[in-house]
Structure 1
Amino acid sequence: MEWYTTKCGKYRIESLSAATFPGALEVIRIAFCQDESVSIGCEVNKNPVAAEELLELCADAALDGVSLVAVETSTGHVVAVAFNKIQVATSSEKPFFEIFAEERCTQASSRALISYMADVDGRCNLFDKYKVDCSLEIMFLATLKEHRNNQLGTHLCRISIDLARRLKNGPVSKMSLQDLGGKFSKMAERSLPSVYPKICQAIWTGAGTQNIGKKLNFTVHLAVPFTEFVYNGKSYAERLGDESAFCEVVALAL
């Protein structure tokens, strides 16, 4: 059963399900992999194979049961998505993103994007800062172009925060490998962590998500200019055509 369904004008926000999973991946492929700042900076937008590898990361996150979609009520089409990931503090293992980049990315572009995430996360240890053992990370947030400016990203983030708070009472939903279907059904099964999120975290990579963070009272703990990240001889800022572009590491105590 879906954990959450709420109306937002001509849309509804609901938990990711087997029925909406393919549409959610298509939003990532079309919107995130083409338009998001780091995807442009490391040329995922020019590499379809790299984009497909990022979809595998989304499938992995989907198994945590905390991702959300925005569905257009008149058509039933998924038009926006928040792929969210439960992150658990560990002392012995490498961070999740670093492991994924090493073990499951064959393309330099996808490795660069995920390594960027691990790098920026590593510069600001939010677990230590907040003295917590678990977080919900708003990992990939995207909306199809024709449905932007409808506050869907804000709604998805706000409800992600609400979902994270509810997890202290136990898992609210769980997708199975069978729900993912296709090549994703061959991924390794895993159990959900026994701890629950005490903070919600994200890396905002553009003005749109940075404005969402301000609206929802996220605290900015680190800002990093895109001039610091280079792929194939060009900085991310150079590819974006904006030398002042930057990302933010943010968090919100639950």
Structure 2
Amino acid sequence: MAKLLVLSLAETTRDKDSGYAVIARNLDDESWVIIPTLPKELFLVEEEYAWDIFAITEADIVRKFDNRNEVYYVNQENYLPYMIEPPIKSNRRRKWLLDNLSTSSIEELQNNSSWVGIIRNPQIDDLMFSERKQDTFGYDINQTFYWECRLDFHDEFNFKWNYRTAPGVAVKDMRFKAYWRDVMISRRDYFLEKKIKWISYMQENDTYLLVEFYPNDFLGSVAVISGVISINKREMRRG
């Protein structure tokens, strides 16, 4: 069994039954674990949530045949995943964990052999959110999959990822996308106002972007943001 500190719950595909993509830190050997498709039945086990951000879940994980060496699936034949420690509430503890796992250099992250990394306190330049794939069969405006979310940012050395297809880096963080989806559906007129406030909030507080890399035939790898975490500095003073 592996003890997994969960740091990301991201979307997988438009298939609602495919559940979530999970990125966690294996506390037993201090390695990264990518679970691309966690079935919904393993997310809520016996009416109890088995996974949550900053919680520790015990699970039987098995390496998948994949060109990324940190990809696993959850084996449920003999043991179902179980949350052994609830989410860490202390902002000081959260910041300590993230600071020890992160870097302020995008170049360092890009050159690392791992397929996962965390960039701390990036300079957020813009946030983009819009509908996509409207002509696709089964299009559902309420699914985050049918919305495109991107963050344009650079690090303290003014380095950034530039992709020809679209500005910034795609965001897969489920909760982050769900928030902006709800804004666009019910309060679209306030999107610009809320975007400006959110960018200011991320700049003024301690912000971490959990970056996942995907293999790419032309670029070697492409970065996506699978987790967006901001820690309020005022709340941190209270613990």
TM category, shorter: under 0.3
Higher relative contact order (CA 8 A, sep 6+): 1
Structure with more helix by fraction: 1
Which TM-score applies when normalising by structure 1? Answer: 0.26
More strand by share: 2
**What TM-score, normalized to structure 2?**
0.27
Query: Which structure's CA Rg is the greater one?
Result: 2
